Amino acid sequence: MPADLPAATKRLKFAVSLRRSRVDATEDARPYIGLEQIESGTGRLVSNGLVTAETPDSPVVDAESLSNTFEPGDVLFGKLRPYLAKAWVAEFAGRCTTELLVMVPRATESRFLRYVCLSRDFVDTVDASTFGSGKSNTIGWLAHRLSSLHNAENQRVFDSVIVITDRVVLDQQLQDTIYQFEHKRGVVQKIDESSRQLAEALDSATR
């Protein structure tokens, strides 16, 4: 936190909530924001390298891709590579890459939250704590490769690949990472309820 913040500053989890809703690109035509459209260190939206205040046109994206949703006043923060210091206050409703965390201010003001997210102390602290992001990419990529591995007779080596973790934060990171590698329906299935859900996924040949 910046040195000039009051000593009684609340922990972030008490000041914001997370917007967790997601949409399929084929079912939502709202403007899309990618990580590359937020300028590092300034909190400004850019288009083709130029700062812009206009609502961007949605680029052509994979028809199966999932996106986070955001509303005006939400603060988007680059969570997987926090050292890039990318945070933006949403000025319109839209959708964004899952690499952006969508925070809804509850006990603070949007612009102040952006200021905190861009501060060097905050960025360094978050960057030092993202121990799971590198592992998530490695595990996600391995699961993706194993699910598509074929032998000399062009037969799949594994019927299904199951990724298991007992850590809540890492579980969410793995879900996001694996969905970025592969997100077609019937290929990837999130198991977050019971063993019956896992059994049904295996019976349906989910890979």
Query: What pTM value is reported for the model?
Result: 0.56
Tens-binned pLDDT, residue by residue, of the chain (207 aa): 444 444 445 678 888 999 999 998 788 889 999 988 999 999 999 864 444 555 555 444 443 378 999 999 999 999 877 888 999 999 999 999 988 999 999 988 999 999 999 998 888 888 766 655 566 777 777 887 788 888 888 888 888 888 887 666 667 777 777 766 565 555 677 777 777 877 887 777 666
Residue 110's nearest CA partner among 69, 76, 68 is: 76
Q: Where are the domains of the chain?
A: 12-129, 131-203
**CA–centroid distance for 90 within its chain:** 16
For the CA atoms of 39, 92, 103, 68, the dihedral, rounded to the nearest 10 degrees, stands at: -90
Output the CATH code of domain 12-129.
Answer: 3.90.220.20
Residue 32 and residue 204: Cα distance in Å, rounded? 32
Annotate 59-77 with DSSP letters as a single string: PP--TT-EEEEE-TT-EEE
